[in-house]
Structure 1
Protein backbone atom coordinates (compact mmCIF):
# COMPACT_ATOMS: atom_id res chain seq x y z
CA UNK A 1 0.00 0.00 0.00
CA UNK A 2 1.38 3.42 -0.96
CA UNK A 3 1.75 6.17 1.63
CA UNK A 4 0.95 9.81 0.97
CA UNK A 5 2.38 12.93 2.60
CA UNK A 6 2.16 16.65 1.98
CA UNK A 7 4.86 19.30 2.01
CA UNK A 8 5.00 23.05 1.46
CA UNK A 9 7.80 24.27 -0.79
CA UNK A 10 8.50 27.96 -1.29
CA UNK A 11 8.75 28.94 -4.97
CA UNK A 12 12.44 29.77 -4.85
CA UNK A 13 13.14 26.27 -3.45
CA UNK A 14 11.07 24.41 -6.04
CA UNK A 15 13.91 23.73 -8.48
CA UNK A 16 15.98 22.18 -5.69
CA UNK A 17 13.04 20.07 -4.53
CA UNK A 18 12.57 18.70 -8.07
CA UNK A 19 16.25 17.86 -8.29
CA UNK A 20 16.14 15.94 -5.00
CA UNK A 21 12.93 14.16 -6.07
CA UNK A 22 14.71 13.01 -9.22
CA UNK A 23 17.83 11.97 -7.33
CA UNK A 24 15.79 9.75 -5.01
CA UNK A 25 13.31 8.31 -7.49
CA UNK A 26 14.84 8.50 -10.96
CA UNK A 27 13.88 10.50 -14.07
CA UNK A 28 10.29 11.71 -14.07
CA UNK A 29 7.59 12.76 -16.52
CA UNK A 30 5.28 15.73 -16.05
CA UNK A 31 1.58 16.01 -16.86
CA UNK A 32 -1.12 18.55 -16.28
CA UNK A 33 -2.99 17.63 -13.13
CA UNK A 34 -6.82 17.75 -13.20
CA UNK A 35 -8.26 20.91 -11.68
CA UNK A 36 -9.63 20.48 -8.17
CA UNK A 37 -11.80 22.79 -6.05
CA UNK A 38 -10.00 25.09 -3.65
CA UNK A 39 -10.83 28.13 -1.57
CA UNK A 40 -11.81 30.93 -3.89
CA UNK A 41 -11.55 29.05 -7.16
CA UNK A 42 -10.13 26.08 -8.98
CA UNK A 43 -6.57 24.84 -8.73
CA UNK A 44 -4.90 23.29 -11.76
CA UNK A 45 -1.47 21.93 -10.99
CA UNK A 46 1.18 19.55 -12.23
CA UNK A 47 1.59 15.81 -11.65
CA UNK A 48 5.02 14.22 -11.92
CA UNK A 49 5.69 10.48 -11.99
CA UNK A 50 9.15 9.04 -11.46
CA UNK A 51 10.63 5.86 -12.90
CA UNK A 52 10.19 3.97 -9.62
CA UNK A 53 6.46 4.81 -9.44
CA UNK A 54 6.71 7.62 -6.92
CA UNK A 55 4.43 10.50 -7.89
CA UNK A 56 3.71 14.03 -6.72
CA UNK A 57 0.99 16.56 -7.40
CA UNK A 58 2.13 20.17 -7.24
CA UNK A 59 -0.64 22.71 -6.62
CA UNK A 60 -0.11 26.46 -7.12
CA UNK A 61 -0.35 28.78 -4.11
CA UNK A 62 -3.33 30.68 -5.49
CA UNK A 63 -6.39 29.34 -7.32
CA UNK A 64 -7.44 30.33 -10.78
CA UNK A 65 -4.00 30.46 -12.40
CA UNK A 66 -3.38 28.98 -15.84
CA UNK A 67 -2.61 25.31 -16.22
CA UNK A 68 1.07 24.65 -16.84
CA UNK A 69 2.10 25.10 -20.45
CA UNK A 70 4.02 21.81 -20.42
CA UNK A 71 2.25 19.61 -22.95
CA UNK A 72 0.62 16.44 -21.64
CA UNK A 73 2.78 13.40 -22.12
CA UNK A 74 6.29 12.39 -21.26
CA UNK A 75 8.75 15.12 -20.47
CA UNK A 76 11.72 13.22 -19.06
CA UNK A 77 14.15 14.81 -16.69
CA UNK A 78 17.69 13.62 -17.16
CA UNK A 79 19.35 11.92 -14.23
CA UNK A 80 22.34 13.42 -12.50
CA UNK A 81 21.52 17.06 -13.18
CA UNK A 82 22.39 19.80 -10.75
CA UNK A 83 19.80 21.78 -8.78
CA UNK A 84 20.49 24.80 -10.97
CA UNK A 85 19.62 22.93 -14.13
CA UNK A 86 16.43 21.39 -12.74
CA UNK A 87 14.56 24.54 -13.73
CA UNK A 88 15.87 24.13 -17.28
CA UNK A 89 14.23 20.71 -17.56
CA UNK A 90 10.70 21.98 -17.13
CA UNK A 91 10.82 25.79 -17.33
CA UNK A 92 7.14 26.10 -18.15
CA UNK A 93 6.22 23.97 -15.15
CA UNK A 94 8.15 26.18 -12.78
CA UNK A 95 7.02 29.50 -14.21
CA UNK A 96 3.33 28.71 -14.70
CA UNK A 97 2.94 26.96 -11.38
CA UNK A 98 3.64 30.23 -9.58
CA UNK A 99 2.18 32.50 -12.26
CA UNK A 100 1.07 35.79 -10.73
CA UNK A 101 2.59 35.00 -7.35
CA UNK A 102 5.19 37.70 -6.81
CA UNK A 103 7.52 37.10 -3.86
CA UNK A 104 6.49 40.46 -2.39
CA UNK A 105 2.74 39.84 -2.65
CA UNK A 106 1.00 41.13 0.46
CA UNK A 107 -0.81 38.40 2.40
CA UNK A 108 -3.45 38.90 5.07
CA UNK A 109 -3.08 36.27 7.79
CA UNK A 110 -6.02 35.15 9.93
CA UNK A 111 -5.52 32.25 12.34
CA UNK A 112 -8.14 31.46 14.94
CA UNK A 113 -8.98 28.59 17.27
CA UNK A 114 -11.19 28.28 20.31
CA UNK A 115 -9.52 30.45 22.90
CA UNK A 116 -7.17 32.53 20.77
CA UNK A 117 -6.27 34.24 17.53
CA UNK A 118 -3.33 35.68 15.62
CA UNK A 119 -3.80 38.02 12.67
CA UNK A 120 -1.32 39.96 10.62
CA UNK A 121 0.00 41.21 7.32
CA UNK A 122 3.00 39.57 5.67
CA UNK A 123 5.21 40.26 2.68
CA UNK A 124 8.14 38.27 1.30
CA UNK A 125 7.53 35.65 3.98
CA UNK A 126 7.92 38.14 6.84
CA UNK A 127 5.28 39.44 9.24
CA UNK A 128 4.98 43.21 8.88
CA UNK A 129 2.29 43.83 11.49
CA UNK A 130 0.31 41.56 13.75
CA UNK A 131 -1.94 41.17 16.75
CA UNK A 132 -2.24 38.05 18.88
CA UNK A 133 -4.74 37.57 21.69
CA UNK A 134 -6.65 35.07 23.78
CA UNK A 135 -10.31 34.72 24.71
CA UNK A 136 -11.66 31.86 26.76
CA UNK A 137 -14.23 29.65 25.05
CA UNK A 138 -15.57 26.74 27.09
CA UNK A 139 -15.36 23.20 25.78
CA UNK A 140 -18.35 20.95 25.20
CA UNK A 141 -20.13 19.19 28.04
CA UNK A 142 -22.16 16.03 28.36
CA UNK A 143 -24.57 17.60 30.85
CA UNK A 144 -28.24 17.63 29.85
CA UNK A 145 -31.38 19.62 30.43
CA UNK A 146 -31.62 23.29 31.32
CA UNK A 147 -28.01 23.57 32.50
CA UNK A 148 -26.75 22.29 29.15
CA UNK A 149 -28.82 24.88 27.30
CA UNK A 150 -27.44 27.63 29.51
CA UNK A 151 -23.92 26.31 28.97
CA UNK A 152 -24.43 26.22 25.19
CA UNK A 153 -25.61 29.85 25.16
CA UNK A 154 -22.61 30.92 27.23
CA UNK A 155 -20.25 29.01 24.94
CA UNK A 156 -21.84 30.56 21.83
CA UNK A 157 -21.52 34.04 23.32
CA UNK A 158 -17.86 33.43 24.08
CA UNK A 159 -17.22 32.20 20.53
CA UNK A 160 -19.04 35.21 19.10
CA UNK A 161 -16.90 37.55 21.19
CA UNK A 162 -13.75 35.80 19.95
CA UNK A 163 -14.87 36.10 16.32
CA UNK A 164 -15.79 39.77 16.69
CA UNK A 165 -12.50 40.70 18.35
CA UNK A 166 -10.47 38.78 15.78
CA UNK A 167 -12.32 40.42 12.89
CA UNK A 168 -11.83 43.90 14.35
CA UNK A 169 -8.10 43.34 14.88
CA UNK A 170 -7.64 41.93 11.38
CA UNK A 171 -9.62 44.74 9.75
CA UNK A 172 -7.46 47.38 11.40
CA UNK A 173 -4.28 45.75 10.10
CA UNK A 174 -5.67 45.12 6.62
CA UNK A 175 -6.87 48.71 6.23
CA UNK A 176 -3.41 49.99 7.12
CA UNK A 177 -1.68 47.67 4.62
CA UNK A 178 -4.25 46.13 2.23
CA UNK A 179 -3.49 42.50 1.34
CA UNK A 180 -3.77 40.98 -2.14
CA UNK A 181 -4.77 37.53 -0.82
CA UNK A 182 -5.61 35.80 2.43
CA UNK A 183 -4.25 32.90 4.45
CA UNK A 184 -6.84 31.47 6.82
CA UNK A 185 -6.06 28.80 9.36
CA UNK A 186 -6.92 27.10 12.64
CA UNK A 187 -10.58 26.22 13.10
CA UNK A 188 -12.30 26.43 9.71
CA UNK A 189 -15.76 27.29 11.05
CA UNK A 190 -14.42 30.07 13.28
CA UNK A 191 -12.20 31.42 10.48
CA UNK A 192 -15.10 31.53 8.03
CA UNK A 193 -17.32 33.20 10.63
CA UNK A 194 -14.63 35.80 11.26
CA UNK A 195 -14.22 36.58 7.57
CA UNK A 196 -18.00 36.95 7.28
CA UNK A 197 -18.04 39.75 9.86
CA UNK A 198 -19.19 43.09 8.33
CA UNK A 199 -15.97 44.81 9.39
CA UNK A 200 -14.05 42.50 6.99
CA UNK A 201 -16.51 42.82 4.09
CA UNK A 202 -13.99 44.73 1.96
CA UNK A 203 -11.54 41.81 2.16
CA UNK A 204 -13.86 38.79 2.13
CA UNK A 205 -13.66 38.41 -1.66
CA UNK A 206 -9.88 38.29 -1.90
CA UNK A 207 -8.23 35.12 -3.27
CA UNK A 208 -7.34 32.62 -0.57
CA UNK A 209 -4.41 30.25 -0.42
CA UNK A 210 -5.32 26.78 0.89
CA UNK A 211 -6.54 26.65 4.48
CA UNK A 212 -3.97 25.52 7.05
CA UNK A 213 -4.61 23.57 10.23
CA UNK A 214 -2.45 25.03 12.97
CA UNK A 215 -2.03 24.57 16.73
CA UNK A 216 -2.81 27.39 19.14
CA UNK A 217 -2.31 30.51 17.03
CA UNK A 218 0.57 32.16 18.81
CA UNK A 219 2.93 34.61 17.13
CA UNK A 220 5.45 31.88 16.32
CA UNK A 221 2.71 30.02 14.44
CA UNK A 222 1.79 33.22 12.58
CA UNK A 223 5.43 33.65 11.52
CA UNK A 224 5.49 30.14 10.10
CA UNK A 225 2.21 30.75 8.24
CA UNK A 226 3.69 33.92 6.75
CA UNK A 227 6.72 32.01 5.51
CA UNK A 228 4.72 29.28 3.77
CA UNK A 229 1.60 31.19 2.69
CA UNK A 230 2.72 31.39 -0.95
CA UNK A 231 4.38 27.99 -1.01
CA UNK A 232 3.61 25.34 -3.61
CA UNK A 233 1.50 22.56 -2.05
CA UNK A 234 2.99 19.17 -2.94
CA UNK A 235 1.32 15.83 -2.24
CA UNK A 236 3.77 12.96 -2.62
CA UNK A 237 2.64 9.35 -3.07
CA UNK A 238 5.35 6.76 -2.51
CA UNK A 239 5.64 3.83 -4.92
CA UNK A 240 3.68 0.70 -3.97
CA UNK A 241 5.48 -1.68 -1.65
CA UNK A 242 6.35 -4.72 -3.77
CA UNK A 243 6.04 -6.94 -0.67
CA UNK A 244 2.50 -5.80 0.06
Structure 2
Protein backbone atom coordinates (compact mmCIF):
# COMPACT_ATOMS: atom_id res chain seq x y z
CA UNK A 1 0.00 0.00 0.00
CA UNK A 2 1.29 3.44 -0.94
CA UNK A 3 2.15 5.56 2.06
CA UNK A 4 0.46 8.96 1.97
CA UNK A 5 1.90 12.00 3.71
CA UNK A 6 -0.45 14.87 4.55
CA UNK A 7 0.23 18.59 4.59
CA UNK A 8 -2.15 21.46 5.29
CA UNK A 9 -2.04 24.61 3.18
CA UNK A 10 -3.70 27.94 3.97
CA UNK A 11 -6.27 28.95 1.31
CA UNK A 12 -4.33 32.08 0.34
CA UNK A 13 -1.25 29.93 -0.41
CA UNK A 14 -3.03 27.18 -2.29
CA UNK A 15 -2.58 28.67 -5.77
CA UNK A 16 1.15 29.03 -5.16
CA UNK A 17 1.33 25.45 -3.89
CA UNK A 18 -0.36 24.17 -7.05
CA UNK A 19 2.05 26.14 -9.24
CA UNK A 20 4.97 24.63 -7.36
CA UNK A 21 3.60 21.11 -7.77
CA UNK A 22 3.17 21.63 -11.53
CA UNK A 23 6.72 22.97 -11.78
CA UNK A 24 8.22 19.99 -9.96
CA UNK A 25 5.89 17.43 -11.57
CA UNK A 26 4.91 18.70 -15.04
CA UNK A 27 1.66 18.07 -16.89
CA UNK A 28 -0.37 16.49 -14.09
CA UNK A 29 -3.68 14.91 -15.03
CA UNK A 30 -6.60 16.30 -13.01
CA UNK A 31 -9.42 14.07 -11.75
CA UNK A 32 -12.41 15.31 -9.77
CA UNK A 33 -14.19 13.18 -7.16
CA UNK A 34 -17.06 14.20 -4.85
CA UNK A 35 -14.69 15.21 -2.03
CA UNK A 36 -11.26 15.73 -3.61
CA UNK A 37 -9.26 16.75 -6.66
CA UNK A 38 -6.49 14.33 -7.64
CA UNK A 39 -3.34 15.31 -9.52
CA UNK A 40 -1.34 12.56 -11.24
CA UNK A 41 1.90 13.44 -13.00
CA UNK A 42 3.66 11.25 -15.59
CA UNK A 43 6.61 10.97 -13.19
CA UNK A 44 4.40 9.07 -10.73
CA UNK A 45 3.75 11.93 -8.32
CA UNK A 46 0.21 12.06 -6.92
CA UNK A 47 -1.56 14.65 -4.80
CA UNK A 48 -5.07 14.53 -3.36
CA UNK A 49 -6.56 17.90 -2.43
CA UNK A 50 -9.66 17.82 -0.25
CA UNK A 51 -12.63 19.87 -1.44
CA UNK A 52 -14.55 20.43 1.80
CA UNK A 53 -16.93 23.01 0.32
CA UNK A 54 -18.37 20.70 -2.32
CA UNK A 55 -17.36 19.19 -5.63
CA UNK A 56 -15.54 21.83 -7.72
CA UNK A 57 -16.50 22.71 -11.26
CA UNK A 58 -15.32 20.15 -13.82
CA UNK A 59 -14.51 22.92 -16.31
CA UNK A 60 -11.57 24.24 -14.28
CA UNK A 61 -11.51 22.28 -11.02
CA UNK A 62 -8.25 23.70 -9.68
CA UNK A 63 -9.34 27.31 -10.13
CA UNK A 64 -12.74 26.45 -8.64
CA UNK A 65 -11.10 24.71 -5.68
CA UNK A 66 -8.89 27.74 -4.96
CA UNK A 67 -11.85 30.12 -5.30
CA UNK A 68 -14.01 28.10 -2.92
CA UNK A 69 -11.19 27.73 -0.39
CA UNK A 70 -10.53 31.49 -0.42
CA UNK A 71 -14.15 32.60 -0.28
CA UNK A 72 -14.93 34.30 3.07
CA UNK A 73 -17.00 32.02 5.28
CA UNK A 74 -19.23 32.47 8.27
CA UNK A 75 -18.18 29.78 10.72
CA UNK A 76 -19.46 28.86 14.16
CA UNK A 77 -16.95 27.45 16.64
CA UNK A 78 -17.35 25.19 19.67
CA UNK A 79 -14.23 24.19 21.61
CA UNK A 80 -14.70 22.04 24.70
CA UNK A 81 -12.50 20.41 27.30
CA UNK A 82 -13.44 19.45 30.85
CA UNK A 83 -11.94 22.57 32.41
CA UNK A 84 -13.01 25.18 29.86
CA UNK A 85 -14.94 25.92 26.69
CA UNK A 86 -15.08 28.61 24.03
CA UNK A 87 -17.89 29.44 21.63
CA UNK A 88 -17.67 31.93 18.79
CA UNK A 89 -18.78 33.10 15.37
CA UNK A 90 -16.29 34.11 12.67
CA UNK A 91 -17.34 36.33 9.79
CA UNK A 92 -14.47 35.84 7.38
CA UNK A 93 -11.35 36.12 9.52
CA UNK A 94 -13.03 38.35 12.12
CA UNK A 95 -14.33 36.92 15.39
CA UNK A 96 -17.60 38.81 15.74
CA UNK A 97 -19.07 37.06 18.79
CA UNK A 98 -17.53 34.90 21.47
CA UNK A 99 -17.96 33.54 24.96
CA UNK A 100 -15.40 31.69 27.08
CA UNK A 101 -16.06 29.70 30.25
CA UNK A 102 -13.83 28.00 32.80
CA UNK A 103 -14.87 25.16 35.11
CA UNK A 104 -13.49 23.33 38.09
CA UNK A 105 -13.38 19.59 37.51
CA UNK A 106 -11.33 17.57 39.98
CA UNK A 107 -8.47 15.45 38.73
CA UNK A 108 -8.34 11.69 39.08
CA UNK A 109 -7.55 10.13 42.46
CA UNK A 110 -5.48 7.09 43.38
CA UNK A 111 -7.73 6.29 46.32
CA UNK A 112 -9.58 2.98 46.23
CA UNK A 113 -12.83 1.49 47.43
CA UNK A 114 -15.82 3.57 48.47
CA UNK A 115 -13.82 6.80 48.54
CA UNK A 116 -12.82 6.33 44.93
CA UNK A 117 -16.41 5.71 43.83
CA UNK A 118 -17.65 8.79 45.69
CA UNK A 119 -14.83 10.85 44.21
CA UNK A 120 -15.62 9.59 40.69
CA UNK A 121 -19.31 10.52 41.10
CA UNK A 122 -18.38 14.01 42.24
CA UNK A 123 -15.96 14.42 39.35
CA UNK A 124 -18.60 13.17 36.91
CA UNK A 125 -21.15 15.63 38.26
CA UNK A 126 -18.69 18.50 37.90
CA UNK A 127 -17.99 17.50 34.28
CA UNK A 128 -21.72 17.29 33.53
CA UNK A 129 -22.22 20.79 34.91
CA UNK A 130 -19.31 22.07 32.81
CA UNK A 131 -20.76 20.53 29.64
CA UNK A 132 -24.18 21.96 30.45
CA UNK A 133 -22.67 25.44 30.62
CA UNK A 134 -20.91 24.92 27.29
CA UNK A 135 -24.17 23.71 25.71
CA UNK A 136 -26.01 26.74 27.09
CA UNK A 137 -23.45 29.13 25.60
CA UNK A 138 -23.59 27.29 22.26
CA UNK A 139 -27.37 27.51 22.33
CA UNK A 140 -27.38 31.22 23.09
CA UNK A 141 -24.64 32.27 20.64
CA UNK A 142 -24.78 29.80 17.77
CA UNK A 143 -28.38 28.66 17.42
CA UNK A 144 -29.84 32.11 16.59
CA UNK A 145 -27.25 32.34 13.76
CA UNK A 146 -27.15 28.71 12.65
CA UNK A 147 -28.96 29.35 9.36
CA UNK A 148 -26.30 31.92 8.40
CA UNK A 149 -23.33 29.61 9.10
CA UNK A 150 -21.39 27.76 6.41
CA UNK A 151 -19.94 25.25 8.88
CA UNK A 152 -19.20 24.59 12.53
CA UNK A 153 -15.66 24.25 13.83
CA UNK A 154 -15.38 21.65 16.59
CA UNK A 155 -12.30 21.30 18.77
CA UNK A 156 -10.96 20.13 22.09
CA UNK A 157 -11.57 16.73 23.66
CA UNK A 158 -13.68 14.40 21.50
CA UNK A 159 -15.71 12.96 24.36
CA UNK A 160 -16.36 16.42 25.81
CA UNK A 161 -17.55 17.73 22.42
CA UNK A 162 -19.84 14.71 21.95
CA UNK A 163 -21.31 15.26 25.41
CA UNK A 164 -22.12 18.89 24.62
CA UNK A 165 -23.55 18.17 21.16
CA UNK A 166 -25.77 15.45 22.65
CA UNK A 167 -27.89 18.19 24.23
CA UNK A 168 -31.30 17.98 22.47
CA UNK A 169 -31.39 21.76 22.13
CA UNK A 170 -28.37 21.65 19.78
CA UNK A 171 -30.00 19.48 17.10
CA UNK A 172 -29.61 22.21 14.45
CA UNK A 173 -25.91 22.49 15.24
CA UNK A 174 -25.47 18.73 14.93
CA UNK A 175 -27.26 18.83 11.59
CA UNK A 176 -24.91 21.55 10.31
CA UNK A 177 -21.91 19.47 11.38
CA UNK A 178 -23.28 16.43 9.54
CA UNK A 179 -23.66 18.46 6.34
CA UNK A 180 -20.16 19.94 6.57
CA UNK A 181 -18.35 17.27 8.52
CA UNK A 182 -14.75 18.07 9.45
CA UNK A 183 -12.26 16.37 11.75
CA UNK A 184 -12.14 17.56 15.35
CA UNK A 185 -9.30 20.02 15.94
CA UNK A 186 -7.22 19.14 19.02
CA UNK A 187 -6.62 22.25 21.11
CA UNK A 188 -5.29 23.14 24.55
CA UNK A 189 -7.71 24.36 27.21
CA UNK A 190 -9.90 26.81 25.25
CA UNK A 191 -9.53 30.53 25.79
CA UNK A 192 -9.94 33.55 23.53
CA UNK A 193 -6.55 33.15 21.84
CA UNK A 194 -7.02 29.41 21.33
CA UNK A 195 -10.39 30.19 19.74
CA UNK A 196 -8.84 32.72 17.35
CA UNK A 197 -6.02 30.35 16.43
CA UNK A 198 -8.41 27.50 15.61
CA UNK A 199 -9.93 29.15 12.53
CA UNK A 200 -6.83 29.04 10.26
CA UNK A 201 -6.37 25.38 11.12
CA UNK A 202 -10.00 24.71 10.23
CA UNK A 203 -9.84 26.52 6.88
CA UNK A 204 -6.53 25.02 5.74
CA UNK A 205 -6.80 22.56 2.84
CA UNK A 206 -5.52 19.04 3.51
CA UNK A 207 -3.34 17.58 0.76
CA UNK A 208 -2.21 13.97 0.58
CA UNK A 209 1.09 13.24 -1.18
CA UNK A 210 2.62 9.96 -2.25
CA UNK A 211 6.37 9.36 -1.96
CA UNK A 212 7.10 10.65 -5.46
CA UNK A 213 5.31 13.91 -4.77
CA UNK A 214 7.21 14.76 -1.61
CA UNK A 215 10.06 17.16 -1.71
CA UNK A 216 11.00 20.74 -0.86
CA UNK A 217 7.79 22.74 -0.71
CA UNK A 218 8.27 25.71 1.63
CA UNK A 219 4.91 27.20 0.67
CA UNK A 220 3.07 24.25 2.27
CA UNK A 221 4.59 24.69 5.71
Q: Smaller-chain TM-score range?
A: 0.7 to 0.9
Q: CA deviation at 1:145?
A: 2.0
In structure 2, the partner of 1:196 is 166
Contact kept, 8 Å, 1:116 with 1:135, in 2: the verdict is yes
Change (3 A) 1:240 1:45: closer
Once the two structures are superposed, the pairs formed by residues 22-101 of structure 1 within 5 Å of their partners are 22-33=22-33, 44-50=35-41, 53-62=44-53, 65-66=54-55, 69=58, 91-95=60-64
Q: Count residues in correspondence.
A: 208
In structure 2, the partner of 1:118 is 86
Contact kept, 8 Å, 2:37 with 2:61, in 1: the verdict is no
Q: CA deviation at 1:184?
A: 0.6
Q: Structure 2 unaligned segments of length 5 or more: list them.
A: 215-221
Q: Structure 1 unaligned segments of length 5 or more: list them.
A: 34-42, 71-90
Q: Taking structure 1 as the reference length, what is the TM-score of the superposition?
A: 0.71
Q: CA deviation at 1:24?
A: 4.2
Cα distance in 1 for partners of 2:102, 2:78 equals 14
Q: Taking structure 2 as the reference length, what is the TM-score of the superposition?
A: 0.78
Change (3 A) 1:238 1:137: farther
Q: 1:231 aligns with which of 199, 204, 214?
A: 204
Cα distance in 1 for partners of 2:27, 2:106 equals 53
Contact kept, 8 Å, 2:156 with 2:187, in 1: the verdict is yes
Q: Does the residue aligned with 2:95 lie in a helix, a strand or coil?
A: strand
| Misfit runs of 4+, over 6 Å | none
